[in-house]
Amino acid sequence: MTITKTLGEFIIEKQAEYPDATGELSAIFAALRLAAKIVHREINKAGLANFSGSAGSENIQGETQQKLDVYANDRFKAALSARGVVCGLASEEDDEYVRFDDSLNQQSKYVVLIDPVDGSSNIDVNVSVGTIFSVYRRVSEIGTPVESEDFLQPGIAQAAAGYVIYGSSTMLVFSTGNGVHGFTYDSSLGIFCLSHPNMTFPDHGQIYSVNEGNYVHFHDGVKQYIKYCQVEDKKTDRPYSSRYIGSLVSDFHRNLIMGGIFLYPASSLHPLGKLRLLYECNPMAFLAEQAGGVAISGPDARVLDINPTELHQRVPFFVGSKHMVKKLERFLREFS
């Protein structure tokens, strides 16, 4: 067995490169790592532990909450509040942001936004799901209760972002603004080991990921791009392969490694888009750009530049290999 660097060792090594680092961000990753291990354990025994199926409630978007959504939300919230290094948390599963009001947490300069289980409906059929997280430095005064302005920041202001994918193996992939690195969980040792250093998007790929069942509801630019992907052209290695899992983390992770583009456009059914800007699009856009990819919400609309107006804001989302996203952008502009 090859001995490699653990997540903890990697974080300590990187922290040493920044003399002004206080260790708070490292403690946040320790909390995320712990909660991810717990969720990993429950996902791997979901059928036995009765974690599949609906929890019998809805989130603020009117979506049915799965039992795993509620469980994971509680675990991540508890792990982050217990460390005393996060002053507040906003979750896709909660109506409002949560203040961690004890004096230690209020002294923290960070807030966390999280989608506890992305693609949770897939757990019933044993398909990969994930956790998406985003970390910001608060803008309100340290020592005071956290405010909404601390969460409503553009994605470019993120201090860190990442995801955990629970699949054939569990991986934690993250960036603190200096490249993207992936760590695979070794359950026999209980540690995340560096397995994918300096992950980058191929400039081009042969995969497009979109729910084509909604094709008739898409706008013309997206329809024309999908047709372009399907037309044979040996010079550009088309047609491309259609691969869509229905879990943003899973589709993004495959395209990051193999090259490709993920599309979740606005439609006549969802004129503003469906994916959440703060919990899904911003962290994935941050990772994409750190890995040499591109993320847009429309022609000339960089996701990371969007100024949020509400916690559960939705936007169209296109992310992936640089040349593929740029080609899509031309179609969106031409057929707008």
Residues 75 and 46 in one domain: yes
Q: Considering its fold, how many domains does the chain have in total? A: 2
Residue 80 pLDDT: 94
Whether 277 has a pLDDT exceeding 60, the answer reads: yes
Residue 116 preceded by cis peptide, ω within 30 = no
Could you tell me the pTM of the whole model? 0.93
Instruction: Give the pLDDT band of residue 126 (cuts 50, 70, 90).
Output: confident
118 labelled ligand-binding = yes
280 labelled ligand-binding = yes
Percentage of residues in the chain having pLDDT higher than 90: 75
Whether 228 has a pLDDT exceeding 90, the answer reads: yes
Strand segments, DSSP code E, in the chain are: 54-58, 64-66, 88-91, 98-99, 110-118, 129-137, 158-166, 170-175, 181-186, 191-196, 207-209, 241-242, 261-264, 275-276, 294-298, 301-302, 314-315, 317-320
> Which structural domain, as residue segments, surrounds residue 74?
7-196
Whether 150 has a pLDDT exceeding 50, the answer reads: yes
Residue 253 pLDDT: 98
54 labelled ligand-binding = no
211 labelled ligand-binding = yes
The mean of the pLDDT values for the chain is 91
Residues 221 and 116 in one domain: no
Whose tokens are 């603004």? That residue is: 177
What are the pLDDT digits (tens) for 295-336?
999 999 999 999 999 999 999 999 999 999 999 999 999 997
Which amino acid is present at 48? Answer: L
Give a yes or no: residue 2 inside a domain: no
Residues 164 and 247 in one domain: no
Where does a domain end: 196, 229, 257? 196
Residues 21 and 131 in one domain: yes
Whether 229 has a pLDDT exceeding 70, the answer reads: yes
119 labelled ligand-binding = yes
121 labelled ligand-binding = yes
Where residue 307 sits, what CATH number does that domain have?
3.40.190.80
Residues 217 and 322 in one domain: yes
Give a yes or no: residue 138 inside a domain: yes
Residues 83 and 117 in one domain: yes
92 labelled ligand-binding = yes
Please name which of 82, 80, 58 lies closest in space to residue 69, comparing C-alpha atoms: 58
164-202 burial by CB neighbour count: b if 16+ within 10 A, else e?
bbbbeebbbbbbbeeebbbbbbbeeeebbbebeeebebb
112 labelled ligand-binding = no
Give a yes or no: residue 131 inside a domain: yes
What are the pLDDT digits (tens) for 53-74?
554 555 556 555 678 889 999 9
Mean per-residue pLDDT, 189-213: 96
Which amino acid is present at 68? Answer: L
Where does a domain end: 163, 196, 229? 196
Residues 168 and 119 in one domain: yes
